[in-house]
Every structure is written in C-alpha cells, then in structure tokens.
Amino acid sequence: MSKTIDLQIEKCRQLVDGFRRNLQKLSDKGVTESQLDELSKRLDELKKANDECEAIRKELTEKVRQMNVILLDVKEEYQAKKRLVKGYYPMDEWIDFGIPDKR
C-alpha cells in the first residue's frame, strides 16, 4: 500500500474509533453513527482501490522491464546494421538506406 494512503487510512480509523467512543459528546455537533459507518465503508473502499492500483503498478513495472530489454536489443541491432552502411558506402548514399546524415 502506498505510504500516503496507508497513513490516511490509519489516521481515519483512529478518528472513527475515537469518535465512536465519544459519540454522546459529539452528537450535539451533528456526528452520527451512520456517518461513522459510512466513513468506515469508504476507508474499506479506499484500501481495496489502493490494493488494485498496487497490483497494476507491480504488473506495469514488470512490463516496462520487459519492454526495456527489447528496446536495448532493438537499439543494438539498429546500430549494428547502421555500421554496415556507414562503413561501406559514402555519406551521400546513406539516406538511400534509411540512415539520415545526422552527426
């Protein structure tokens, strides 16, 4: 769980617990049991949503790692092929092979 979400859930749960213990004192301030129940429900939803995001984040990290391996391979292959042309053909012919003359 992300640290920000984890801390917010912890703080809210402590608040809800404290409010429940002192509900009689807070009832004249408009605090109700149903409000606290709703906040607890929202905290459960937040935890579930965060867990889903963490799973997606973990999957994305693996996909990005795989993509970077492929990218490195493609770059190496590109450089090897480019050297074939640059080593054997004059610069004015490089564009014919799809290699722009950029230094």
Residues 6 or more apart whose CB falls under 8 angstroms from that of 33 comprise 20, 23
* pLDDT confidence of residue 2: 83
Per residue of the chain (103 residues), what is the pLDDT tens digit? 589 999 999 999 999 999 999 999 999 999 999 999 999 999 999 999 999 999 999 999 999 999 999 999 999 999 999 999 998 999 989 999 999 876 5
**CB of 16 closer than 8 Å to CB of 39:** yes
Residue-wise DSSP of 17-29: HHHHHTHHHHGGG
Q: How far, in Å, CA of 31 to CA of 11, rounded?
A: 18
**CB of 26 closer than 8 Å to CB of 19:** yes
**CB of 51 closer than 8 Å to CB of 9:** no
* pLDDT confidence of residue 102: 67
